Amino acid sequence: MERESFEDEEVAELLNKYFVSIKVDREERPDIDSVYMSVCQAMTGHGGWPLTILMTPDRKPFFAGTYFPKKDRYGLLGFMSILNNVQKAWVEKKEVLENASNQIIDAVHGEDSSEHKSLKDEIIHSAYQQLERSFDSEYGGFGREPKFPTPHNLLFLLRYWYATGEEKALHMVEKTLDGMYRGGIYDHIGFGFCRYSTDRYWLVPHFEKMLYDNALLSMAYVETYHATKNDRYAQVAKDIYTYILRDMTSDFGAFYSAEDADSEGIEGLFYVWDPKEVISILGKEDGKLFCDMFDITSSGNFEGRNIPNLINTKEIDINFIEKCRIKLFNAREKRIHPFKDDKVLTSWNALMAASFAIGGRILKDESLINTAKKAISFIKDNLVREDGRLLVRFRDGEANILAFLDDYAYLQWAFIELYQSTYEPEYLKDAVDINNEINRLFLDTDRGGFFLYGHDAEKLISRPKDAYDGAMPSANSVMAMNILRLSRITGDTQLIEHYETHVQSFARQMSASPLGYVYMLTSFLAYNQPSQEVILVTDKTKDSLLPFIDVLQDKFRPFTNIVVYGDKYKQIESMIPYIVDYTASDGEVQAYVCENFACKKPISDINEFNCLMS
């Protein structure tokens, strides 16, 4: 609609004559997007983008829809016709439109009036069974095209496999990750993933690259490496991190938001190839072999040109691919690049930082952890007001817009991951402190759960409180996992009670549609597993702990949390008061393994500890 209508002089003349036009960046104002998307869904039965809303001067909507052509076409009323009809109705039947808008507001406000429903353990298995039924056994992924990566589904399946031993769950994860890596949704030349695939094969993507997709996918790949020890998954995760550091990281350590799908006005142009071009760069022999391996033909697989992919390739020569890739990448760098959206969003930056912290921990790469620390330091230094209020966006030296629940939830997630990767008390303190701030700003004290925007923010026609997972886990889903993990790390029983209230407040929605709430169900799966906390106590430097930490981090242990205590970690006493009872003797490391809040006899022998954790 932007090109067809909003940049059209005829449409602009009509809009400017009778309407006040407001264009909303839904990445910066998810509150506005959420409120009016709910309106659109209530009025039309569906939603999507572009979202078109017509409303009264006091922001009450009376018309909603998604895409409209400029003129009547495809059986759709054209945007020009809609504007003319609305203008006429506003003059002749203004009262009717105002009454309709009031009825819509009443309907939206009444959506959350139902009683809570108790959440049962069976919903975890129901979610798994629904994923199993929708699984594409040939190409991986779930559902029909367009196919979205939805990495949080894979994080759930990994934990379901770990908890139940169900091998099919792990198979679905591996098949999906393999299918996406082989497909054209993955940039085989420059690394990183595009938003989604337009087909079931993962071949033709929407070429836009989003920071949040690559954050979640790098998590999924590196965790699957942790679970399987398959080096291919580790390499894909490393390559995603390489892409982010090379193309999406600012000089000051923050991450940019996205890269557009098109360059020179043509979608995908930057990413596609023809055989002659490849051969001219690689030479005849290597060029032909590369084209055969990556499905690059004279007829093309995308609008006459070719998206490199490995979908039908049986044998992959990694060394050969890397040799050719470097040459092709250097040649591609000379092309006109897609536009880069260089705004820095708190929520997406925090999510990417969380992934770097996880990746550094699993891959034993301190540089990745340092990247996470640098990004979080940027947020603390540049996206927090003097009064401590977090902000949404930083660009051109300016931070603006009061942060939403998403920003706080993802930042808390990053704090927790950094604590589990560094054991530096400041990150645990940050996680506990921000939890108090989240409760103050967003908590629904009457019905549980958290509102999308804070009590100090601009008041809209409704105050949404949603837990539905989209391309990213919802903020309420992330908060469920954060609260659960904090409760187990700190031993704070009030947090576990808060978790139970929080999850039950969304029980009705989850029971009706489990696949819409998979990440919250991931926390519910964790809640139903025996908790395991390992407390390592030493009065020496962190180096003395490394053999014990290596034992813990060597295997995939999604339900285990680690706490480090001793002379150099006294700061955590304010977050975990009971920790003072755990002592080290004779300068040795003491490892306390606690399950379901009961601790075994402390161990100082590394071999004995290794046997216990096996």
> Which of 286, 319, 337 delimits the end of a domain?
337
DSSP sequence for 485-519 = HHHHHH--HHHHHHHHHHHHTTHHHHHH-GGGGHH
pLDDT band at 437 (very low <50, low <70, confident <90, very high): very high
Closest CA to 531 of 552, 561, 504: 561
Q: Say what the pTM is.
A: 0.90
> Which of 112, 146, 174 delimits the end of a domain?
112
pLDDT band at 231 (very low <50, low <70, confident <90, very high): very high
User: Is the pLDDT at 107 greater than 90, yes or no?
Assistant: no
Count of domains forming the chain = 3
pLDDT band at 101 (very low <50, low <70, confident <90, very high): confident
User: Is the pLDDT at 115 greater than 70, yes or no?
Assistant: no
> Which of 337, 371, 391 delimits the end of a domain?
337
Pairwise CA distance, residues 441 & 409, whole Å: 12
Task: List, in order, residues 6 or more apart from 490 with CB less than 8 Å away.
Answer: 428, 432, 575, 576
State the DSSP H helix or E strand holding residue 259, giving kind and residue range, or none if neither.
strand 258-259
Q: What is the mean pLDDT of residues 449-456?
A: 96
**Please, which contacts does 363-370 make with residues 24 or more away whose CB atoms are closer than 8 Å?**
363/222, 363/225, 363/234, 363/237, 363/238, 364/553, 368/241, 369/418, 369/421, 369/422
Residue 389, domain member (yes or no): no
pLDDT band at 436 (very low <50, low <70, confident <90, very high): very high
pLDDT band at 38 (very low <50, low <70, confident <90, very high): confident
Q: What is the mean pLDDT of residues 414-433?
A: 97
More confident residue, 16 or 6: 16
User: Is the pLDDT at 237 greater than 80, yes or no?
Assistant: yes
Average pLDDT across the chain, whole number: 94
Q: What is the mean pLDDT of residues 568-594?
A: 90
Domain region containing 327:
262-337
Pairwise CA distance, residues 285 & 293, whole Å: 12
pLDDT band at 226 (very low <50, low <70, confident <90, very high): very high
**pLDDT of amino acid 112:** 53
Pairwise CA distance, residues 359 & 339, whole Å: 28
CATH code for the domain of 101: 3.40.30.10
Residue 560, domain member (yes or no): yes
pLDDT band at 110 (very low <50, low <70, confident <90, very high): low
Length of the chain: 614
Pairwise CA distance, residues 572 & 591, whole Å: 17
Strand partners, 493: none
Residue 39, domain member (yes or no): yes
Residue 60, domain member (yes or no): yes
**pLDDT of amino acid 316:** 92
Contact 166, 173 (CB under 8 A): no
pLDDT in tens, 546-567: 999 999 999 999 999 999 999 8
Q: What is the mean pLDDT of residues 440-462?
A: 94
**pLDDT of amino acid 40:** 83
Question: Could you check whether the bond before residue 30 is cis, i.e. omega within 30 degrees of 0?
Answer: no
Around Cβ 100, how many Cβ atoms within 10 Å?
A: 17
User: Is the pLDDT at 299 greater than 60, yes or no?
Assistant: yes
More confident residue, 2 or 485: 485
Q: What is the mean pLDDT of residues 523-548?
A: 92
More confident residue, 468 or 109: 468
Residue 194, domain member (yes or no): no
Pairwise CA distance, residues 373 & 385, whole Å: 20
Q: What is the mean pLDDT of residues 227-253?
A: 98
Residue 11 carries which side chain, given as an amino acid letter?
V
pLDDT band at 111 (very low <50, low <70, confident <90, very high): low
**Among the listed ranges 61-75, 288-302, 510-524, which one has the minimum average pLDDT value?**
61-75
Q: What is the mean pLDDT of residues 591-611?
A: 91
**pLDDT of amino acid 154:** 98
Strands 52-55 and 61-65: antiparallel
Q: Residue 150 — φ and ψ, nearest 5°?
A: 35, 65
Q: What is the mean pLDDT of residues 156-167?
A: 98
Which three-class secondary structure state does DSSP give residue 591?
strand
Tokens of 70: 């400029």
Radius of gyration of the chain (CA): 26
Tokens of 229: 């020890």
| HEC secondary structure over 518-583 | HHHHHHHHHHCCCCEEEEEECCCCHHHHHHHHHHHHHCCCCCEEEEEECHHHHHHHHCCHHHHHCC
**pLDDT of amino acid 534:** 96
Share of the chain above pLDDT 90, in %: 80
**Among the listed ranges 107-121, 395-409, 535-549, which one has the minimum average pLDDT value?**
107-121
pLDDT band at 542 (very low <50, low <70, confident <90, very high): confident
Pairwise CA distance, residues 185 & 188, whole Å: 9
More confident residue, 462 or 166: 166
Residue 53, domain member (yes or no): yes
Residue 594, domain member (yes or no): yes
Buried b (16+ CB within 10 A) or exposed e, 51-71: bbbbbeeebbbbbbbeebbbe
CA distances 78 to 86, 250, 317, 508, Å, are 12, 42, 53, 39
Residue 35, domain member (yes or no): yes
